Amino acid sequence: MTNMNMVEAVNSAIDTMLSKDEDVIMFGEDVGYFGGVFRTSDGLQEKHGKHRVFDSPLSEGGIAATAFGMGINGLRPVVEIQFADYIFPAYDQIVNEMAKVRHRSGGEFWCPVTIRTPAGGGIRGGHHHSQSPESQFTHTPGLKVVYCSTPYNAKGLLISAIEDNDPVIFFEPKRCYRGPFYGDPHNVPTWSGHPEAEVPESHYKIPLGEARLAMEGDSCTVISWGAMVHVCERAIKDSGVSCDLIDLQTLVPWDMEAVVKSVAKTGRCVIVHEAPKTSGFGAEMAASIQERCFWNLESPIERVTGWDTPFPHTTEWDYMPGPDRVIAAIVRTQED
């Protein structure tokens, strides 16, 4: 085990897969010689050769389309979209092409592409470097959608994504690249010493579709993903309420069993995400939970989310859900 931050863990996952499988290649904007604007591919071109780790033209649509072609012809491309906000020129290729090729070709072609992309706010990125567009992909049949939250799950989930034979959209919470984010912008620790930053150097997998029980309790189920997992951890500790904290990890397919089991136990549920509320993945969770756990519920399901507005630049801390809003929601679920 080595202490790694999330950038190093992502790098280690790609490195591991490049070493293990010669069909794995990686490309994207600035990922080759430079090693990526967030350094996630640092050193990989030098180690594995520039025909396996390389820069691409600035064309997200071209990156996705080329990965599609390589994927249906036997390679296993791992591509980077530099910011999730920039994924939309690739949307047609992802939604209409990658997601549907297995189905439309009667199973004769499939597309084992992994699209990695840093997402989420908290870096003063304004509305074009802060969005968390997961629900724009969870609404597309044929795609798997993953959102990591720690160095350990980043590596294990990314290896699973790369080895998966379906296209996977892999969101990395950029706010947590170098440390867990507990909601206080003035006090962001590093990953050093964090138990979830102890990462094996070797190959390991966290299965897609399995949630992580990050905290265990009896009185409320808090469900989250990405950077908000750490905000929830802080909120639960400060709330004094005994909670299960479910880090969903994979959004499609999500771990229904873990969620139902927890809500059946606690009877109360708070869903937290930083993406806007309307049609956010929290809406899907809430609907599914009431379908399956209606008679177990003791209080309404709460959602704590980003507002239905673009992500601001200067005033981002009035946008991002913080521990106080989560605590209030947890407390509301405890009222009779």
Q: Which residues bind other proteins (CB under 8 A)?
A: 22, 25, 29-30, 32-35, 37, 50-52, 54-62, 85-86, 88-89, 124-129, 277-278, 307-310, 312-315, 318-319, 322, 324-325
Using the minimum distance from each CB to other proteins, give the nearer residue, 179 or 306.
306
Using the minimum distance from each CB to other proteins, give the nearer residue, 36 or 142.
36
Taking the complex as a whole, the smallest distance from the CB of residue 232 to other proteins amounts, in Å, to 16
Catalytic residue among 129, 186, 194, 230: 129
Strand order in the sheet with 243-247: 212-215, 243-247, 220-224, 269-276, 302-306
Using the minimum distance from each CB to other proteins, give the nearer residue, 46 or 201.
46
Question: Is 139 a known active-site residue?
Answer: no
Taking the complex as a whole, the smallest distance from the CB of residue 309 to other proteins amounts, in Å, to 5
CB atoms within 10 A of CB 105: 12
Reference 227, options 1, 6, 3, 2; nearest CA is 6
Taking the complex as a whole, the smallest distance from the CB of residue 61 to other proteins amounts, in Å, to 6
Using the minimum distance from each CB to other proteins, give the nearer residue, 55 or 218.
55
DSSP state of 70: H
Taking the complex as a whole, the smallest distance from the CB of residue 166 to other proteins amounts, in Å, to 24
How many whole angstroms separate alpha carbon 260 and alpha carbon 288?
Answer: 9
Cα dihedral sign for 139, 140, 146, 149? negative
Q: Are the beta carbons of 285 and 256 closer than 8 angstroms?
A: no
CA distances from 122 to 25, 127, 272 (A): 31, 11, 16
Strand, helix or coil for residue 220:
strand
Taking the complex as a whole, the smallest distance from the CB of residue 289 to other proteins amounts, in Å, to 21
CA distances from 133 to 120, 124, 140, 266 (A): 8, 17, 12, 30
How many whole angstroms separate alpha carbon 178 and alpha carbon 38?
Answer: 10
Using the minimum distance from each CB to other proteins, give the nearer residue, 56 or 224.
56
Catalytic site positions = 129
